[in-house]
Amino acid sequence: MNAEIKLELTENLEDYLYDIFEILKTAPIARIKDIAKKRNVKLSSAVIAAKSLAEKGLINYQKYEYITLTEKGLKIAKEIENKKKILYKFLTEILKVTPESAQRDAHKMEHDLSEETIKKIIEFTKNFKGIS
Tens-digit pLDDT profile for residues 68-90: 999 999 999 999 999 999 999 99
Tens-digit pLDDT profile for residues 32-59: 999 999 999 999 999 999 999 999 999 9
Strand (E) or helix (H) holding 123: helix 115-127
How far is CA 126 from its chain centroid? 22
